[in-house]
Amino acid sequence: MSEPARGGRPRSAAVHDAILDAVRQTLIEGGYAEVAMDRVAARAGVGKQSVYRRWPSKAPMVAEAVLDAYRSGASFALPDTGDIDADLRTWLRGYAQFIASASNAALLRALLAAAAEDKQDGETLYRQLTEPQYHAVLDRFRNAVQTSAIRADADFESLAQALIGAPVYRVLAHLEADAATSQQFDGLVEVIMRGLHRD
């Protein structure tokens, strides 16, 4: 049985966190190609067996490191002010800005590389990455339907995917944000909502 580490966390959990942090720092500095199990172990200050005991290869290790970072940092409450257009614009700008930061963009691209090594896991990884935002957007659409602000017969799942996918695409395509980027996201919201509002 592992002994508790000083500071309160069990040693095994502290080692796990140290490894994930080492993976993220390596990804940010050098990208997916620079990640190797022995390098990560050295950077985390643990033995290689501590790494291999948790992950058989680097792809699942990278996937967990990235998803862990996004779960802890990508908590964007989608506001409900009664104006769904304004709420979606506010949320989309914030979400896009978060994932476009240098560190988060590097992590997102690394997740894509990890998913490419196992095609069966690709869809699962993307879903895990975007699930909190996806459900937040769906809930906001459903609330707007209940207040009769928008039509009820739309494909809200596809619309949510379009809103989430737009900023993700910009990151994966290495498109730099500029003064027009926010206007483009606002335009996307406008096009989507134009078809949803009741006449």
Question: pLDDT digit of tens for each residue in the chain (199 aa)?
Answer: 344 444 555 668 999 999 999 999 999 999 999 999 999 999 999 999 999 999 998 888 998 998 888 877 655 679 999 999 999 999 999 999 988 988 889 988 888 888 777 766 677 777 778 888 899 999 999 999 999 999 999 999 999 999 999 999 999 999 988 878 999 999 999 999 999 997 6
**Is the residue at 138 inside a domain?**
yes
**Is the residue at 49 inside a domain?**
yes
Tokens of 52: 């291999």
Give yes or no: residues 40 and 80 share one domain. Answer: no
Give yes or no: residues 77 and 109 share one domain. Answer: yes
Please return the burial class of 38, using the count of CB atoms within 10 Å of its CB with bins 0-12, 13-18 and 19+. exposed
Give yes or no: residues 42 and 77 share one domain. Answer: no
Please return the burial class of 107, using the count of CB atoms within 10 Å of its CB with bins 0-12, 13-18 and 19+. buried
Distance, in Å, from the CA atom of 66 to the CA atom of 79, rounded to the nearest integer, reads 26
Q: Which residues contact 121 (CB under 8 A, 6 or more apart)?
A: 59, 60, 63, 115
Tokens of 81: 């002010």
Q: Could you tell me if 95 and 76 are in contact, meaning their C-beta atoms sit under 8 angstroms apart?
A: yes
Q: What is the pTM of this model?
A: 0.80
Give yes or no: residues 44 and 95 share one domain. Answer: no
In order, the DSSP letters of 49-75 are HHHHTT-SSHHHHHHHHHHHHHHHH--
Give yes or no: residues 45 and 85 share one domain. Answer: no
Total domains in the fold of the chain:
2
**Is the residue at 63 inside a domain?**
no
CATH number at residue 170: 1.10.357.10
3-state secondary structure of 77: coil
Distance, in Å, from the CA atom of 29 to the CA atom of 9, rounded to the nearest integer, reads 28
Tokens of 114: 């990890």
**Is the residue at 62 inside a domain?**
no
Residue 118's identity, in one-letter code, is D
DSSP label at 33? G
**Domain membership of residue 15 as a residue range:** 1-54
Give yes or no: residues 137 and 80 share one domain. Answer: yes
Give yes or no: residues 157 and 76 share one domain. Answer: yes
Give yes or no: residues 165 and 118 share one domain. Answer: yes
Residue 100's identity, in one-letter code, is A
What does the longest C-alpha to C-alpha distance in the chain come to?
Answer: 66
